[in-house]
Structure 1
Amino acid sequence: MASKVVSLKSKGKSTKGGGGGGKGGSDKLKCLKEWTGWAMGKAKVITHYGFIPLVIIIGMNSEPKPQLSQLLTPF
């Protein structure tokens, strides 16, 4: 038996020529993709550098109130 090869490319409307959506939709999509990538990059950096300080701040506001040295040392 022969196996059928499945293509993963989308079969949506073409952005070249034709009426309707035209180039305006692709520009908006490109802008949205760029903005999303930029925002995700910034969120990654904020998460990376903000997680440990957030844990320390939450730990200092809990009951009983520990000293900063108690939070940073393993004893």
Structure 2
Amino acid sequence: MASRVSVKGKGKSIKGSKDGSEGHSTAKCLKDWSNWALKKAKVITHYGFIPMVIIIGMNSEPKPQLYQLLSPV
């Protein structure tokens, strides 16, 4: 017969501690939301900057051609 090995976790387990956890969960939620929003803003800025410059350049006076906007000279 094979013997069974039981694994018991070491350390303290915190179950439902309610003393002051409301403030911590609100702060954590705010931190998570702000991190998520900043990551999305970084991606939007990264992929949207050059198209935005081209669109603004195409709508300016005098109206340049697309190749004039993209040429280095």
Is the pair's TM-score, using the shorter chain for normalization, greater than 0.5? yes
Matching residue of 1:55: 53
Which residue in the other structure is 1:37 paired with?
35
TM-score, normalised by the number of residues in structure 1? 0.69
- Percent identity over the alignment is 68
Question: How many equivalent pairs are there?
Answer: 57
Structure 1 segments, 4+ long, off by >3 Å, are none
Three-state SS of the structure 2 residue aligned to 1:62 is: coil
The answer on 1:69 being equivalent to 2:67 is yes
Task: Give, in angstroms, the shift of residue 28 of structure 1.
Answer: 0.6
- 1:37 CA drift (Å): 0.4
Runs of 5+ unmatched residues, structure 1: 1-15
With the length of structure 2 as denominator, give the TM-score of the two structures: 0.71
Unaligned runs of 5+ in 2: 1-16
Report Cα offsets for 1:36-56 as digits up to 9, x if no partner. 001000000111111111111
- 1:11 match: none
